[in-house]
Amino acid sequence: MAKIDWHPLVSEEGIAKIKLRSQQVPCLIFKHSTSCNISAIAKYRLEDDWDFASDEMEAYYLDLLSFRPVSRQVAETFQVHHESPQVLLIINGECVYDASHLDISLQEIHEGLVSANSSTFR
């Protein structure tokens, strides 16, 4: 089983970095509320099921409570409605899949990759 190598997302510059990086490798943003049980469950499920190698997907962790302005900018940049918890799959600078709460699952993320035709990353 692979382990998620979380990259902290703590600034608006980090969002720009993700947009650029997603040109080479799919990037996943996990927006986590550290005070929410549902968010803790969603994070645990991602970490427990994670099967991506580090060169197949980069995972970014955003602590919503500590970085609210960054969270708002993520929603604006990728044109998604803010949810918590939430995952966004970024490919070629665009959000191609998002899910929130207990709809967050690794199987759905894999399906989002397939539907985005991300075979160029493999």
pLDDT, averaged across the chain: 91
Domain-wise residue ranges, the chain: 6-121
* CATH number for the domain running over 6-121: 3.40.30.10
Cα–Cα distance, 36 to 86 (Å, whole number) = 12
Contact residues for 13 (Cβ-Cβ < 8 A; gap 6+): none
| pTM of the entire predicted model | 0.92
pLDDT, position 117: 61
Residue 122's pLDDT band (boundaries 50, 70, 90)?
Answer: very low
Cα distance between the two ends of the chain: 19
pLDDT, position 1: 58
pLDDT in tens, 54-110: 889 999 999 999 999 999 999 999 999 888 999 999 999 999 999 999 899 999 999
pLDDT, position 115: 84
Note whether 108 and 97 are within 8 A (CB). yes
pLDDT, position 102: 86
Residue 116's pLDDT band (boundaries 50, 70, 90)?
Answer: confident
